[in-house]
Amino acid sequence: MRRKAPLAEATRNSSALNRLRRTKIALIRAEYNAEITRSLEAKCIEGLLESGLHGHQIERYSVPGCFEIPLFAQRLAMRKRYDALIALGAVIRGETLHFDLVAWECARGVMNVSLKYNLPVVFEVLAVNKRGDALRRAGNNRMNKGYEAAQAALTILAELGRVED
């Protein structure tokens, strides 16, 4: 069951609505497997805008591949300009261990950034066995994992806001 949009939740709470209006989110998208990652990014932005954010509240960045996401996330976190980061990428299993190394190290690096900087970093790096699996998860619909990443970012920000209030 899909949760209510964060904007709908925020309208019942003025401090949450004010927080949403001040929210800044950075998207980090891996260029590798660009057909997939661009679709994730487009749906992520759609989800953020539908939830009440405006274009000026969203900054987009791209890196060559998923392995570069953690370093870039760390640099953005160091700047203390964003309320949340969203990491978007796709790693597709091949015939070597490269898939495992990239997927695991990207996940570990992103988690380290989140914990070190006390900053939500939504991890939506698809790690799949086949290209078709990634294409299904990046389809032009609301099941797109980019759209879900937008909702996850806004939901965790709202929940963290409740803890701080």
Dist. CA 3–CA 155, nearest whole Å: 9
**What's the pLDDT score for residue 142?**
76
Half-sphere exposure of residue 50: CA atoms within 13 angstroms, side-chain side: 13
What separation in angstroms does the CA of 121 have from each of 5, 82, 136, 149?
Answer: 19, 10, 23, 10
- Which residues are identified as catalytic? 98
**What's the pLDDT score for residue 20?**
72
The pTM of the full predicted model, rounded to 2 decimals, is 0.89
**What's the pLDDT score for residue 145?**
97
**What's the pLDDT score for residue 124?**
97
What separation in angstroms does the CA of 76 have from each of 24, 39, 70, 150?
Answer: 12, 23, 10, 18
**What's the pLDDT score for residue 93?**
94
CATH code 3.40.50.960 for 24-164: yes
Dist. CA 163–CA 148, nearest whole Å: 23
**What's the pLDDT score for residue 4?**
47
Query: Can you give the residue ranges of every domain in the chain?
Result: 24-164
Residue spans of the chain under pLDDT 50: 1-4, 7-8, 10-11
